[in-house]
Amino acid sequence: MGATPPRILITGKNGQLGWALARSFGANAEVHALDRNGLNLADTDAIRRCCREIKPTLILNAAAYTAVDRAEQEPELAMQINGQAPRVLAEEANRLDAAIIHYSTDYVFAGDATEAYLEDDPTAPQNIYGKTKLVGEQAVCEVADRFLVYRTSWVYAARRQNFLLTMLRLAMERDELRVVADQIGSPTWVETLADFTHAAVDAQGHLTIADGIYHVSANGRTSWHAFAEAIFAAIPDPRRTAKRVVPISTADFPTPAKRPAFSVLSNQKIEFATKRRVPDWQEQLAGCAADYAQNA
């Protein structure tokens, strides 16, 4: 008889990451992927009930309140989902002797660095979303017996809602696009994040690398403006009406939530732990473009 496959609870099933994780782990695990109807992270009792019913051996917390600007108007709800729910999930994981992998963000940093951020660099979130995510990752680190926190950045996929799909849509509607050129970061294809999650879990659902925070974003750096131009080059479409991508500054495009100017994360720690190289953002974009073409 073979070993029992791990029982994995994935939150945020329809999100970019939840979707990719369910696909990536589905073949070799008993996956319970839940949307917010199946598990509402704003409801502490529901989290406890759900964990006690499913009894996962591994929890992948892919759900989050990700509406960065709206969070400025709904700080309590954002805090419940991003700050409190991870703590409850971590407590339940301990109760079940399970591990938890939680996801966090480059927005925990101030964004005024000039070198890629390391895991131990001081945090100083500049907006509500970042503050709530910081509370969540700290809770997991403090409470969970077995855990990983993956901080990532500028996540996109060929489905759902993200910068790449917004650019492709707007390029069909407008004559020119104006895109911020003075924010620097690393656009991360969600499949890379799913791959590196997979790489840290063995066939029994146990973590294969040491507990802690790890940065898992694309290697290399770019601006939103240069990323937009790269997207149009990677996914050509003769029907596009937009002929130019005009670089603008953050000051030209005010948003309710302040964004970090520089949020490049160093991937050295995860690369050393998994003995795998994280692909450059250009390579990741090519992967997503192929995925997009397949499903177009």
Ligand X SMILES: NC(=O)c1ccc[n+]([C@@H]2O[C@H](COP(=O)([O-])OP(=O)(O)OC[C@H]3O[C@@H](n4cnc5c(N)ncnc54)[C@H](OP(=O)(O)O)[C@@H]3O)[C@@H](O)[C@H]2O)c1
Q: Which residues bind ligand X (CB under 6 A)?
A: 11-12, 14-18, 35-36, 39-42, 62-66, 81, 103, 105-106, 133, 152-155, 160
- Look up 117 and say whether it is catalytic: no
| Sign of the alpha-carbon dihedral angle for 120, 121, 127, 131 | positive
Q: Of residues 129, 150, 156, 214, which has the active-site annotation?
A: 129
Residue number of the CB closest to ligand X reads: 15
Q: How far apart are CA 270 and CA 281, in angstroms?
A: 16
Nearer to ligand X, 129 or 181 (CB): 129
Neighbours of 7 (CB within 10 A): 18
Cβ-based nearer residue to ligand X, 5 or 220: 220
Helix (H, G, I), strand (E, B) or coil at 71: helix
How many Å apart are CA 39 and CA 176, to the nearest integer? 41
CA 71 – CA 66 distance, rounded (Å): 8
Specify the residue, 17 or 116, whose C-beta has the smaller distance to ligand X.
Answer: 17
* Backbone φ and ψ of 94, nearest 5°: -60, -45
The token pair at 179 is: 């895109």
6 vs 65 by CB, closer to ligand X: 65
CB 132 within 8 A of CB 75: yes
Specify the DSSP class assigned to residue 83: I
SS3 call for 80 = helix
Residue positions annotated with a catalytic role: 129
